[in-house]
Amino acid sequence: MVEHLTFNQVVEGSNPSGPTKKGLSLFSQKFTLMGILNATPDSFSGDGVFLCPQKIKQRISTLLQSGCKVIDVGGESTRPGFLAVSDSEEWDRVSTVLSLLQEMDISCISIDSTKPVVIEKALLSGVQIINDVNGFCDLDIIKLAQKFNAYCIVMHNARMPRYFVDDTLQGIPLVQTMIGQLKNTVDVLLTMGISPDKIIIDPGIGFGKTFQQNWDIVKYCDHFKGLGYPVLLAASRKSFIGSLCDANVDSRLGGSLGVIAYCFQKGISFFRVHDAYESNQLLQVMSSLI
């Protein structure tokens, strides 16, 4: 039988090997996996469960049994060239998943959305993590995070004016520019009443970066820790791996695991993944060796 940690247990760093300090961060164990649950018909990775309750339950069970501590629910694809959906359509997709998660007594849930209306309804339904791929450029989303005391995954999205980076920027200058932009956003969150222990940083692999810039982010991923917040890495199955390895989206497991292994060695411990079982196994081995 799989043990489902409650949200409070994860927050307080519950660990079968012994107690950890309360209040360090949401992700105070050796590593934390966020499992991707796409309630969409057009997921880039082809794993969208859309509105089929049987598939949704199966996906949830697979993620939990594979070691995921957080389930990240999204109702709108963010793949390049994605088609936007209305607030109501996105909520219809997401609410189906959230209802099933509640039935299964799963409480550590993230909402992957950029829409205040959808985010507010999700928070009212008990979701406690906001994964905003637009990087909290919308003040209404920050206000919701403050109102509900939610965790904020602040992502760098070079498609947004606040986070724009020139295609020619590479290496350390690129990373330093990104860190400066992320810091500016974090300062806004802090000014608007978001607690520092509710902030998580995501460098935003993909999302307006070039092939080389994505690899630079991986290479220098540890620099983002200098902001003083937990860092989430979301590289699973993305196109920069496919371009390097000449691999289709369903053949990028090895490359995805290679990125996780490298970044874990660099001190990153929070990963958003499609292939939870293999990622968990890799990180268990890595944890025993480092």
Distance in angstroms (rounded) separating the CA atoms of residues 281 and 93: 31
What's the full length of the chain, in residues? 290
Q: How far is it, in rounded angstroms, from Cα 164 to Cα 286? A: 35
Banded model confidence at residue 8, pLDDT cuts 50, 70, 90: very low
Per DSSP bridges, beta strands 32-38 and 70-74 are parallel
Q: Is the distance from CB of 45 to CB of 237 less than 8 angstroms? A: yes
**Listed residue (176, 178, 173) closest to 205, CA to CA:** 178
Phi, psi of 157 (to 5 degrees): -125, 105
The reply to whether CATH 3.60.150.10 applies to domain 7-289 is no
pLDDT band at 84; cut points 50, 70, 90: confident
DSSP state of 66: T
pTM given for the model: 0.87
Q: What is the pLDDT of residues 274-287, one digit of tens each?
A: 999 999 999 999 99
Question: Would you state the pLDDT for residue 103?
Answer: 87
% of the chain beyond a pLDDT of 90: 73
Share of the chain above pLDDT 70, in %: 85
Mean pLDDT of the chain: 87
Within 13 Å, how many C-alpha atoms sit on residue 196's CB side? Answer: 7
